[in-house]
C-alpha cells in the first residue's frame, strides 16, 4: 500500500485553564489516531465539544499539539517551526465553517483566491490572472466576480471562494471544518456536489469535519466518530451506517432525523441519559460509561480501563469493552431499520 | 374550529433603501392540539410572520391583515390588552437559548418573573411553581437547578428552561422558532420528545418554525412551506412528503442527503439554481420563477394564487405536481 497522505498517531491536545474560579486542563483531544490514504475522504463526526475541530486545527498546525505525531506525506510536521512549515502549506489547505468571517473583507475575491498562489511563488502577473480565472471556472463562479468584494456575494458563493482559495495550490490534503453548516439547505446541496466533483477531478485527500451524519454518508469513504476527545468507532462508511457497533454511534444514528414522516415516526430510538461530561474532568476508564446503555454489563471494567480501539475485521474499529465480533447483545438497533 | 386564524398578513419594513416586503398576504389557521411546521430558508419570512403576530418586531415594521385569537384581533388590539395574551396565552421559544436568558439572574427568578407578572403569584409560590415547571420539562434535580445561573446549564438544558418559561402560564399556543437548531442531534431528539409530550399532556398547540425537514417529518401534523414571504405550499405532513407539488418543495426534498445515499454513488443531491430573490421589490410574478425548471410566460407575468389540489393540500403554482426525477 502506498504511504498515507496524512497520519495522526496518539494525538493529544490539552488546554490549560485559569481564572473564573476554575483551574485545570481541558482534555480536548486525548489519544486520537487515524490515517487518510491518497484520494480518500475521511469524515470526522461528533457532537459539540467532542474535539473534532481541535483535531483539524492540530493537523493544520493552527494550534500546537500537546503530544503525538502528525505526518504529512511521511514527513513529521508535529514540531516544525512556522518558517519550516511554510513550504508545506502547499500540501494542505483548509475550508472554514463560516464563509463570512474567513474571507478578508478588504480584498477582492480575485485577490483572495490568488493570494496562496503568489505567497507560494507559484505564479504572478498574467499567469496568476489566468490561474485564478481557471479556479473561478472550476468552482462555478462567473469571472466578473473576481472584482467583487466578499460582502457582495451570497453565502454559497463565498463558500465557493473559500474552496477555490483552498484548492489554488493543488494541495494533497483538504481539511474542511463544517463547510456547509452555515448555509441554507438548497445551497448546501450545491456545495456538497461541488466538493464531490472536485475531489473526483483533482484527487485530493480530505478530512471532512461535521456533526451531520447524512452529509458524511453522502460524501466520505470512511468515518471516525468522536466522543469527548477520543475516537470511539472508525469504519468504512457503508459499514458504519448499516452496522454501527459502538453504543454511542448507535445512539447518534438513531437520534438523527430522517426527512420522511413514515420512516421517522416508526424508528426506535436509543435515548442517552444526562449530558456530555465536562472535558475538564472526563470520566475514568471508558469516557462514555456515564451515559452508556450497556454500562451495567461492562462495569467494573469500564470504570477502570480505557477501552482500546480494536479492529473487528475489515477495518471496522471500535473502542468498547463489550463489542467483539459476534457479540449480538451489543446491537441495540434493528438491522432492518438501519438499512433505511 | 380553529384557535388562531391569520388572514392576509403582510409585513413590510421601511429601510433606507426603500421598502422591503418580508411577508406578503400570508394566511394560516391553527387548530386545537395541532402541531404545524413552518419550513423555509433564511429570509423567507417564517420568523417575521409569527413575531409580527405578537408585535415583537421593531417599529419600522408595517403590519397589515388580521389575526383572530379568542375573539380579538391581535394586530389591532391595544398593547395593554395584547399583554394579557403575549407570554400568557401565546408563548414564544427562541432559537438561541443563551442570548434569550439573562445571564445575571438565577433561572428560578427568570421563570418566576413570568409567574409573578402574569399570574400575580407571590415569591415563594412562584419558586415552587418554577420547580414544578423544571420537573415538567425533565430537568434532573429541579430543586437544585432552580438556583443556578444560565451559564451553569448545558445548551439542551437552557432550551428546556426556555420551554419551561414559555409553559409557565399554561399557554394555548406555543410558537417555537428553530428550537433545536443550535443543539446536537441527541439533544434535539430529547427536545422534540418533550414538545410531543407537552402537546399530549397539556393539549398545547404548537407552531414549529424550522429549516430542517427531518424535524418536520418527526413532529408536525401539517406543514407550510414558505418562499420569499409567500406561502408556496401547505399540506398534511405525510401528503407533503409523499406528493410534493410545488417545484420549490420538490427541490428542498431532493437537496437533503438521505440515509442509504452512499449505496448509490452516482446519485447526486438536487441543486436549486440561483438564489433567494431580494425582497426589496416583490415581482408581479411567481417569486420562484427565476429558479424554476417549470417556469413559463404565465409564471413570469402573474402571481400564482393558492389552490387546493387534494383535500387540505394547497399549492401556489401554475404547474403543480411531483417532479419525475424525485420519485426514485
Strand-strand pairing, A75-76 and A67-72 = antiparallel
Q: What are the distances in angstroms from CA B11 to CA A27, B57, B59, B65? A: 49, 10, 11, 9
pLDDT at residue B263 above 70? no
pLDDT at residue A1 above 90? no
**B42, part of any domain:** yes
Question: All 3 cell numbers of residue B250?
Answer: 420538490
Locate the chain B residue with the closest alpha carbon to A258.
B214
How many residue contacts between A and B have a Cβ separation below 8 Å? 127
**Among A96-100, A140-144, A203-207, A224-228, whose mean pLDDT is lowest?**
A96-100
Question: All 3 cell numbers of residue B37?
Answer: 411546521
Q: How many helices, marked H, and strands, marked E, lie in chain A?
A: 13, 12
pLDDT at site B264: 58
Which three-class secondary structure state does DSSP give residue B314? strand
CB nearest to A259's CB, from B42, B217, B276? B217
For chain A, which residues make up each domain, given as ranges? 6-91+171-338
pLDDT at residue A331 above 90? no
pLDDT at site B270: 86
pLDDT at site A40: 96
pLDDT at site B326: 43
pLDDT at site A276: 84
Percent of the residues in chain B that have a pLDDT greater than 90, as a whole number: 68
Domain A6-91+171-338 has CATH 3.40.50.300: yes
Band (pLDDT 50/70/90 cuts) for residue B120 is very high
Chain A residues with CB-CB distance to B under 8 A?
47-48, 154, 156, 184-190, 192-193, 196, 211, 213-215, 217-218, 237-238, 241, 251-252, 255-265, 269, 271-272, 274-276, 339-340
Report the sign of the C-alpha dihedral through residues B150, B153, B158, B161, in that order.
negative
pLDDT at site B232: 96
pLDDT at site B74: 95
For chain B, how big is the Rg over CA atoms in Å? 21
pLDDT in tens, A122-154: 998 999 999 999 999 999 999 999 999 999 998
**Among A222-231, A264-273, A311-320, B239-248, whose mean pLDDT is lowest?**
A264-273
> Is B218–A257 a contact, with Cβ atoms under 8 angstroms apart?
yes
Which of B21, B177, B314, B39 minimizes the C-alpha distance to A186?
Answer: B39
pLDDT at residue B328 above 70? no
Residue pair A316/A239 in contact by the 8 Å Cβ criterion: yes
pLDDT at residue B327 above 60? no
Residue pair A320/A243 in contact by the 8 Å Cβ criterion: no
> Can you give the residue range of the structural domain that contains B90?
2-98+172-315
Please give the sequence-ordered ranges of beta strands (E in DSSP) within chain A, or none if there are none. 6-17, 24-36, 41-45, 67-72, 75-76, 92-95, 173-177, 205-210, 222-227, 230-236, 310-311, 317-318
> Is B185–A274 a contact, with Cβ atoms under 8 angstroms apart?
no
pLDDT at residue A308 above 50? yes
pLDDT at residue A35 above 70? yes
> Is A47–B272 a contact, with Cβ atoms under 8 angstroms apart?
no
Question: All 3 cell numbers of residue B235?
Answer: 399540506
**Among A160-174, A231-245, B144-158, whose mean pLDDT is lowest?**
B144-158
For chain B, how many structural domains are there in total?
Answer: 1
pLDDT at residue B140 above 90? no
Which three-class secondary structure state does DSSP give residue B19? strand
> Is B241–A261 a contact, with Cβ atoms under 8 angstroms apart?
yes
**B110, part of any domain:** no
Interface test with A, best of B254, B259, B277 (most A CBs within 10 A): B259
pLDDT at residue A66 above 90? yes
ipTM for the complex?
A: 0.85
pLDDT at residue B261 above 60? no
What CATH number is attached to the domain comprising B241?
Answer: 3.40.50.300
Work out the average pLDDT over B28-49.
93
Band (pLDDT 50/70/90 cuts) for residue A330 is confident
How far is A174 from chain B, CA to nearest CA, in Å? 21
Strand-strand pairing, B222-227 and B230-236 = antiparallel
> Is A262–B237 a contact, with Cβ atoms under 8 angstroms apart?
no
Question: All 3 cell numbers of residue B266?
Answer: 452516482
Dist CA B150 CA B157 (whole Å)? 9
- The 10 Å Cβ neighbour count of residue A203 is 11
Q: How would DSSP label each residue in A26-92?
A: EEEEEEEEEEE-TT-EEEEE--TTSSHHHHHHHHTTSS--SEEEEEETTEE-TT--HHHHGGGGGTE
pLDDT in tens, B40-99: 988 899 999 999 999 999 988 999 999 999 999 999 999 999 998 998 999 999 887 778
pLDDT in tens, B304-319: 999 999 999 999 999 9
pLDDT at residue B145 above 50? yes
> Is B257–A215 a contact, with Cβ atoms under 8 angstroms apart?
yes
pLDDT at residue A271 above 90? no
Which of A79, A80, A66 minimizes the C-alpha distance to A12?
Answer: A66
Residue pair A34/A232 in contact by the 8 Å Cβ criterion: no
Band (pLDDT 50/70/90 cuts) for residue B324 is low
Dist CA A99 CA A157 (whole Å)? 9
pLDDT at residue A2 above 80? no
CB nearest to A275's CB, from B154, B192, B260? B154
**B151, part of any domain:** no
Q: Which helix (H) or strand (E) holds B175?
A: strand B173-177
pLDDT at site B271: 87
How many whole angstroms from its chain centre is CA B141?
A: 31
> Is A269–B269 a contact, with Cβ atoms under 8 angstroms apart?
no
> Is B269–A156 a contact, with Cβ atoms under 8 angstroms apart?
no
Band (pLDDT 50/70/90 cuts) for residue A38 is very high
Residue that wins the pLDDT comparison between A135 and A155: A135
Residue pair B176/B207 in contact by the 8 Å Cβ criterion: yes
Peptide bond into A300 cis (omega under 30): yes
> Is A186–B269 a contact, with Cβ atoms under 8 angstroms apart?
no
Band (pLDDT 50/70/90 cuts) for residue A24 is confident
**B38, part of any domain:** yes
Dist CA B295 CA B277 (whole Å)? 15
Residue that wins the pLDDT comparison between A165 and B17: A165
Band (pLDDT 50/70/90 cuts) for residue B262 is low
Question: All 3 cell numbers of residue B300?
Answer: 413570469
Which three-class secondary structure state does DSSP give residue B78? coil
pLDDT at site B325: 53
Which three-class secondary structure state does DSSP give residue A23? coil
Contacts of A291 in chain B (CB under 8 A): none
Question: All 3 cell numbers of residue A215?
Answer: 452529509
CB nearest to B215's CB, from A156, A215, A257? A257
> Is A257–B276 a contact, with Cβ atoms under 8 angstroms apart?
no
CB nearest to A214's CB, from B156, B188, B259? B259
pLDDT in tens, B216-245: 999 999 999 999 999 999 999 999 999 999
Length of chain B: 328
How many whole angstroms from its chain centre is CA B14?
A: 24
Contacts of B239 in chain A (CB under 8 A): none
Contacts of B269 in chain A (CB under 8 A): 189-190, 192-193, 218
Which of A134, A156, A143 minimizes the C-alpha distance to A108?
Answer: A143
Amino acid at each position: 500500500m502506498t504511504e498515507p497522505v496524512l497520519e495522526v498517531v496518539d494525538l493529544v491536545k490539552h488546554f490549560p485553564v485559569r481564572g473564573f474560579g476554575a483551574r485545570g486542563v481541558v482534555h480536548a483531544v486525548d489519544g486520537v489516531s487515524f490515517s487518510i490514504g491518497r484520494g480518500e475522504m475521511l469524515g470526522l463526526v461528533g457532537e459539540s465539544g467532542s474535539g473534532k475541530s481541535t483535531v483539524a486545527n492540530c493537523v493544520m498546525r493552527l494550534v500546537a499539539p500537546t503530544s503525538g505525531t502528525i505526518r504529512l506525506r511521511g514527513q513529521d510536521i508535529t514540531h516544525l517551526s512556522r518558517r519550516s512549515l511554510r513550504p508545506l502549506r502547499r500540501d494542505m489547505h483548509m475550508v472554514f465553517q463560516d464563509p463570512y468571517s474567513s474571507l478578508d473583507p478588504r480584498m477582492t475575491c480575485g485577490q483572495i483566491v490568488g493570494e496562496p498562489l503568489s505567497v507560494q511563488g507559484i505564479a504572478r502577473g498574467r499567469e496568476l490572472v489566468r490561474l485564478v480565472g481557471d479556479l473561478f471556472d472550476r468552482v462555478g463562479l462567473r469571472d466578473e466576480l473576481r472584482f467583487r468584494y466578499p460582502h457582495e456575494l451570497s453565502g454559497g458563493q463565498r463558500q465557493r471562494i473559500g474552496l477555490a482559495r483552498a484548492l489554488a495550490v493543488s494541495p494533497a490534503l483538504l481539511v474542511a471544518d463544517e463547510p456547509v453548516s452555515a448555509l441554507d439547505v438548497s445551497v448546501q446541496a450545491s456545495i456538497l456536489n461541488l466538493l464531490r466533483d472536485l475531489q473526483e477531478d483533482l484527487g485530493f485527500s480530505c478530512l471532512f469535519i461535521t456533526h451531520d451524519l447524512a452529509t458524511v454518508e453522502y460524501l466520505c469513504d470512511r468515518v471516525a466518530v468522536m466522543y469527548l476527545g477520543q475516537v470511539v468507532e472508525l469504519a468504512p462508511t457503508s459499514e458504519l451506517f448499516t452496522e454501527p457497533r459502538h453504543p454511542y454511534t448507535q445512539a447518534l444514528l438513531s437520534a438523527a432525523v430522517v426527512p420522511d414522516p413514515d420512516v421517522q415516526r416508526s424508528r426506535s430510538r436509543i435515548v442517552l441519559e444526562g449530558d456530555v461530561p465536562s472535558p475538564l474532568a472526563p470520566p475514568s476508564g471508558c469516557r462514555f460509561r456515564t451515559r452508556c446503555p450497556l454500562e451495567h454489563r461492562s462495569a467494573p471494567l469500564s470504570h477502570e480501563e480505557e477501552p482500546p480501539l480494536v479492529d473487528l475485521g475489515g477495518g471496522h474499529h471500535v473502542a468498547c469493552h463489550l463489542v467483539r465480533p459476534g457479540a449480538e447483545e451489543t446491537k441495540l438497533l434493528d438491522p432492518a431499520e438501519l438499512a433505511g | 374550529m380553529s384557535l388562531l386564524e391569520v388572514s392576509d398578513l403582510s409585513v413590510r419594513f421601511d429601510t433606507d433603501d426603500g421598502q422591503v416586503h418580508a411577508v406578503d398576504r400570508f394566511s394560516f389557521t391553527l387548530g386545537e392540539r395541532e402541531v404545524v411546521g413552518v419550513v423555509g430558508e433564511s429570509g423567507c419570512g417564517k420568523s417575521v410572520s409569527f413575531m409580527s403576530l405578537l408585535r415583537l418586531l421593531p417599529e419600522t415594521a408595517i403590519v397589515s391583515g388580521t389575526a383572530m385569537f379568542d375573539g380579538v384581533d391581535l394586530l389591532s388590539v391595544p398593547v395593554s390588552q395584547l399583554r394579557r395574551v403575549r407570554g400568557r396565552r401565546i408563548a414564544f421559544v427562541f432559537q438561541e437559548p443563551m442570548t434569550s436568558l439573562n445571564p445575571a439572574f438565577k433561572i428560578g427568578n427568570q421563570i418566576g418573573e413570568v409567574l409573578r407578572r402574569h399570574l400575580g403569584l407571590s415569591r415563594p409560590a412562584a419558586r415552587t411553581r418554577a420547580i414544578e415547571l423544571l420537573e415538567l420539562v425533565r430537568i434532573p434535580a429541579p430543586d437544585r437547578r432552580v438556583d443556578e445561573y444560565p451559564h451553569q446549564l448545558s445548551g439542551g438544558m437552557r432550551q428546556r428552561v426556555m420551554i419551561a418559561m414559555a409553559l409557565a402560564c399554561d399557554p394555548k399556543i406555543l410558537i417555537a422558532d428553530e428550537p433545536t437548531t443550535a443543539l446536537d442531534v441527541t439533544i434535539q431528539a430529547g427536545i422534540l420528545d418533550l414538545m410531543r409530550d407537552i402537546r399530549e399532556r397539556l393539549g398545547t398547540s404548537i407552531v414549529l418554525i424550522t429549516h430542517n425537514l427531518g424535524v418536520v417529518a418527526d413532529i408536525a401534523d401539517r406543514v407550510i412551506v414558505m418562499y420569499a414571504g409567500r406561502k408556496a405550499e401547505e399540506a398534511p405532513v405525510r401528503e407533503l412528503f409523499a406528493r410534493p407539488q410545488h417545484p420549490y418543495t420538490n427541490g428542498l426534498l431532493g437537496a437533503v442527503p438521505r440515509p442509504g445515499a452512499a449505496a448509490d454513488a452516482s446519485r447526486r443531491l438536487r441543486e436549486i439554481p440561483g438564489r433567494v430573490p431580494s425582497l426589496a421589490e416583490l415581482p408581479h410574478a411567481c417569486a420562484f420563477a427565476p429558479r424554476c425548471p417549470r417556469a413559463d410566460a404565465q409564471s413570469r407575468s402573474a402571481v400564482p394564487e393558492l389552490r387546493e389540489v387534494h383535500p387540505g393540500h394547497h399549492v401556489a403554482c401554475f404547474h403543480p405536481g411531483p417532479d419525475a426525477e424525485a420519485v426514485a
